[in-house]
Amino acid sequence: MDRKVRLRFAPSPTGPLHMGGVRTALYNYLFAKKHGGDFILRIEDTDQNRYVEGAEDYISESLKWCGIIPNEGQGYGGDHGPYRQSERKEKDLYRKYAMQLVEEGKAYYAFDTAEELEKMREDLKKAGVAAPQYNAITRERMQNSLSLPKEEVEKRLANGDPYVIRIKIPRNEEVKFQDMVRGWVVVHTSNLDDKVLFKADGMPTYHLANIVDDHLMEITHVIRGEEWLPSAPLHVLLYEAFGWSDTMPQFAHLPLLLKPNGNGKLSKRDGDKLGFPVFPLEWKDPKSGDVSTGYREKGYFPEAFINILAFLGWNPGTNQELFSLDELVEAFSIERVGKAGAKYDPEKARWFNQQYLRAKDDKVIAQELMKFESSKQIIGAKGLDYLTAVCGLIKERATFLKDIPIEGQYFFDAPSEYDEKTIRKKWKEGSAEIMKEWRERLEQIESFDDENIENQFKAFLEEKEMGIGKVLPLFRVLLTGQGMGPSMFAIAALLGKEECLKRIDSGIESLV
């Protein structure tokens, strides 16, 4: 291809951006960057009835959070603007192209009322037609410029009668195109209806605006969801009708995102039911006030979210699972995107976040935690250095940042309860005496670091001729209240000698 690679992400501001939409944006971004091309954001707001206040800002903020930054488009500028379809409509841009098709006999005026359209559908249903359509057969019996006398059409237009412009689908032809994911797609025009291209309110439909904008913006590849596959033959016919076949973009239709059980498309309802988000950011419905949680608010890192999405339909052909955005650009290939629907695995999503948490620098984690109001109450006045050390010990056991102060609460507060299972199994007659003796040994340690504590612990066991299971679980439960956790010697060193002695005394008093 001699032309510069140019791809667009063209969402409609009709509500929050679903994670499937973010995946589409991601794949477009990766393909564009892989081939040294442009990634463009275009807002397709032709359906004014479904427009939702705040949705466009939500789309932009979501892409920024994910790091999928357009280099052209709405909010970013460029030479092919405006990038919002409603603003392009104000220039009468789409009407001009719709009229071109009418004048060339490739589209026509249709004056049918809603009642007439409904009657046509009902009549066809009574005649045994399962899916009634306005097509090459039925258009001959409807109120349009193909069936009405020329004088009648001119009169209606002069009177200002409402009309739409429909494409004139050719009879008995095959529409063929090669999809980068699915291979050759062939559809017979007898299965297509005469879709509306231009509406009575002066707005283009998605189909017309989409093709005109892609052509004028010199789009070379269209990567979009599988739900648009049925529309692709119509789009191919539009490129042919305009005489743009030579510059028609290559299509790729991505597989559906499926529910965790694989039965059906992933929806918001599934997320609510199973306890995971389906939106990148929290969304508050401007009409109902209902709030839907987002991956950001749930505590996912944007890098983890991107990694999750990348693997929903694509695989690198290697065992590598963790990819930075730059590494994804390098590895991505549209040929490795599958046709079959991709099941979303919420546990795998949590695993990805866990891996990114573990890889983060302890101090960076601590600084992030210091921003949380909820964490500030737990952390108190311990300070950044102390919290950094806590993060180093706890992050292996956490999935989200917010887990750290909860999992490691004993670093900030002495336990008020003790793990019942540990006490039941390990606290025996004589245990109090053993722990008092171990306390005395701890008190004698001058340099209270984890290495010295461990050495003294081993010496203590040897002298007493005891196994580790007789002392260490009790040491842990008295200091932390828990039965499991990081290295006890590291915990004790971080808590400090005075706090350790105090907790042992308090624990023994509570348990005897």
Beta strands in 331-408 (DSSP E): 342-343
Question: Catalytic one among 268, 298, 360, 363?
Answer: 268
Is 27 in contact with 314 (CB distance < 8 Å)? Answer: yes
Tokens of 325: 């955005």
**How far apart, in whole angstroms, are the C-alpha atoms of residue 440 and residue 71?**
66
512: CB partners within 8 A, 6+ apart: 432
| Distance, CA of 274 to CA of 125 (rounded, Å) | 40
Q: Are 196 and 258 in contact (CB under 8 A)?
A: no
Half-sphere exposure of 26 toward its Cβ, with a 13 Å CA cutoff? 32
Contacts of 136 (CB under 8 A, 6+ apart): 169, 170, 171, 189, 190, 194
DSSP-derived letter for residue 231 is G
Beta bridge partners of 144: 110
CA distance 300 to 60: 18
CA distance 512 to 504: 12
Question: Measured between alpha carbons, how far is 111 from 128 in angstroms, rounded to an integer?
Answer: 26
448: left (phi over 0), alpha (psi -120 to 50) or beta: beta
Exposure string over 18-50, b if 16+ CB within 10 A, otherwise e: bbbbbbbbbbbbbbbbbbebbbbbbbbbbeeee
CA–CA dist 54, 284 (Å, integer): 9
Handedness of CA 210, 215, 218, 219 (dihedral sign): positive
Label residues 92-117 b or e (16+ Cβ within 10 Å = b): ebbbebbeebbeeebbbbbbbeeeee
Structure tokens belonging to residue 112 = 């049918």
Verify whether residue 126 is a known catalytic residue: no
236: phi then psi, degrees, rounded to nearest 5? -60, -45
Which tokens belong to 107?
């589209």
Quick check: helix, strand or coil at residue 107? strand
Active site residues: 268
